[in-house]
Amino acid sequence: MADFLSGFRVASSGMTAQRTRLNAISSNIANINTTRTDEGGPYRRKDVVFESTPDVRNFGEILSARSPRAEVQKVLATDVVPDMKAPLLKYEPNHPDANDEGYVAYPNINMMEEMTNMIQATRAYEANVSALQAAKDMALSSLEIGR
């Protein structure tokens, strides 16, 4: 049963990480025209940083492990960092956020890139859901065999 639980933890960590990524992408899309933020200047596009970490086990699983080197890795979204690309300047002299030369700084966000990232994150989330479902089905099948 420990192997099934490990599969559940790995798939759920992937789902959590992709949910964080989808939240950042939706924030980027929602703020594509935001020229003023509390920090000053235009909105900065957000990127999620993923990190692979060993699957945390409980004490019983550590004792029953066949090989301590065969560590199962899970993914964590460790940080959400702002993109430091220069903003896009558009000539709009009547805009309230225009500089002295009449240019307004807009976020450097490419809608096509964001939509591609959204599709990729959605597919990764769906793959983790499928892996979780497969692990659940195998666990249920093994219980049926033991009956």
DSSP secondary structure, 90-144, as one string? EE-TTSTT--TTSEEEE----HHHHHHHHHHHHHHHHHHHHHHHHHHHHHHHHHH
- pLDDT tens across 85-131, in order? 999 999 999 999 999 999 999 999 999 999 999 999 999 999 999 99
Alpha carbon separation from 74 to 4, 25, 54, 106, 118 (Å, rounded): 14, 22, 6, 37, 21
Which residues, in sequence order, are CB contacts of 122 under 8 Å at separation 6+? Answer: 18, 22
Q: What percent of the chain has pLDDT over 70?
A: 87
Confidence (pLDDT) at 128? 94
Report the 10 Å Cβ neighbour count for 142.
11
Q: Using CA atoms, how far apart are residues 103 and 92, in angstroms rounded to an integer?
A: 6
Average pLDDT of every residue of the chain: 88
Sign of CA dihedral 126, 132, 136, 141: positive
Alpha carbon separation from 27 to 89, 108, 120 (Å, rounded): 21, 13, 16
Indicate the domain borders of the chain: 2-145
Which residues, in sequence order, are CB contacts of 61 under 8 Å at separation 6+? Answer: 2, 5, 6
Query: What integer is the mean pLDDT of 35-40?
Result: 92
